[in-house]
Chains A and B, each alone.
Chain A
């Protein structure tokens, strides 16, 4: 049988999550869900748990903070040393604020880039955007995308299961 993606539409987040759990237990492959706000537990169900996003933020932030401190050190110690009231040229406590502020900004930028990297955005078009009523997923509806293993002969049991779980509409999207 040709692989087909089923999009089941729900009116509530909890119904979608319950349906996703049941479908998975019955052997269907849950691909993704599309919802107007995050559904707690869905990412775990899809097996998305680890991310390097925070690591990237930490590296970016600390790296730029070090660079900023290096700039201060170079300018105040090597290139333009001024004796200001006998204070040490490398007055590190007084030099801390610019690296701190700039480091946090750099962490934010690095994280944003990592977020785009992880999500694959910006991607202005997506095959599912063509699917009927897909735009509802950013408004009031919760969509569950799943597919059945290739050895199954019919979609009927899956459809019945989704109906029973509260799906208000089920659409087939050819792949």
Chain B
């Protein structure tokens, strides 16, 4: 009866292993989630230029800086204060001067398709509503060494100073070039060689995000950005 024995043995092993893993996953979940939240906050700060590359902060300091300078906002599709039901909202972060009075820019969350999975990150714009001031990625499934380079500083630095409008004031968005962005340096970012597909998916995602948030950007261009700071009236 060796078959019965094999089956019983496998069954018992499965039971023990799955119990162990369930215990570990549930037990460690709060810590893991706290880590993930802190990592997102770190990336918002980095995109907003409030955390320099290589600067290491302890968790409480990081959180304190985030709470001091960053304020989460949600609005409806037209950039007006969000409705109560929370449907059709745009959420983003305001970068404040830390005193609670001035707005220095805003940070938009990006959720783009990638080659292997979702790319999640942030793009920061200056208070003029036109100039990009930073870009970060905090979660992706791209191939390490190829598309995975999007998480590297070398690629992300390329976003600084790009404009989402052309000189005439029409919306152009941002594109990740194939290779060097020599043709259209105002609106294109240097791509990663060997990762053309990742680049074009991320381009689509960026374009979509920037289009969705155009009403917000428009209000910043009209110098009305600080109104998001005011307490939202119901």
Q: Do A and B bind each other?
A: no
> What is A's interface to B at a CB cutoff of 8 Å?
none
